[in-house]
Structure 1
Amino acid sequence: MSKETIKLIILIFITSYIALSRNPLIIAFLALIISLFSLLDKKTQKNIAKRIKPLFFISLLIMGFQLIFNTTVDTHTRLYLGIFQGIKIYSLSMLVFVYTSKTGASQILKGLNFLPKKVQLVLTITLSLLPIILDEAEKIRLVQKARGYQSSLINPLKSIFPLIIPLIHRTLRRTEQISLVMQTKGLSLD
């Protein structure tokens, strides 16, 4: 087995463990280790603030959903479950962020060599587009801010559309460019 395959198997094992674990201390410990690892790595240091801000919002959203909609348990348990799920989401996202920032697309493709070709291609494009999409989202946010756009905490769905619509457009355009390049190079999945 290649080094890339072993890295990918370890990533799958750790993410599966985080997703299925019910022990908050282990999840918090893993989140701390992943955070320290990403802070110590020079490659991920500059992008970590951009990554943590949306994760914080998502974690607060999950806590809010737990508090509002999970009425089968008391308030303390709902808050605990919200925090626990937020830490899980944070850990999983940071783990994938560290993996995609440390591993190039060609290495990811080598690591996926045990899968069918179509699955390899889909996963490689997905994992390699994640950092690009985050960079595009930051550029769109800066452009919208320069145009005078202000986000609203009162109605977040209304304020997210000026960011999401251009992001979807740019992402679809980028994937179309990738598919044209692959067709030009003669990549066949048959």
Structure 2
Amino acid sequence: MRALRLPRSARSRFTAVLASAAFLLPTATAQAAQSAPAAPARHCVVVLDQLRPGESASRVLSRDCATGTEAPAPTGRAAAATLLMTWYADIDYGGDSTQIRGSYGGCNAEGYGFAYVGDAWNDRISSFKTFNSCDTVSGYDHANYGLDVYYCGRCGSGGTFSEPYVGNNANDRISSWWISRS
């Protein structure tokens, strides 16, 4: 195939048009991205059962999710369960969230184990809050409590603790949690 050869005056005008287009293209793309509305956040409420002898993970009794500005109002089991922890997808408690509730009250020495955060949360957690005596928190890189990447023992006061950023070592790596009372 033979290349098209333009006269010198046409080549310089053609080059100028290409340069202008290349300059404008990233700006147009950035403007389109800025004007696109953000997807609404997804918020969930999960109720865990208390640990039974010999168990290493709390059973999930219920899970309810909604899309919008806040978590769905707890109903059924969730309404009677105690708020233990809330995970957030973004730093400073932003984006998607999941409330973890305990069916047998706040944290005690045995605590609650979440052996796998689920596919929707795996490697997405960036911040969290704890409540109701949950003052010891361990976050793990793998399901079933493999490779400790986050630990806070006796964190917070009065049984509540807020972590606006889990740190570079744990950010978007947590796959399982263990929370208890020291």
Q: Normalising by structure 2, report the TM-score.
A: 0.23
Per residue, is there more strand in 1 or in 2? 2
Q: Relative contact order: is structure 1 or structure 2 higher (C-alpha 8 Å, sep ≥ 6)?
A: 1
Point out the structure with the larger helix share: 1
Larger radius of gyration: 2
- TM-score between the two structures when normalised by the length of structure 1: 0.23
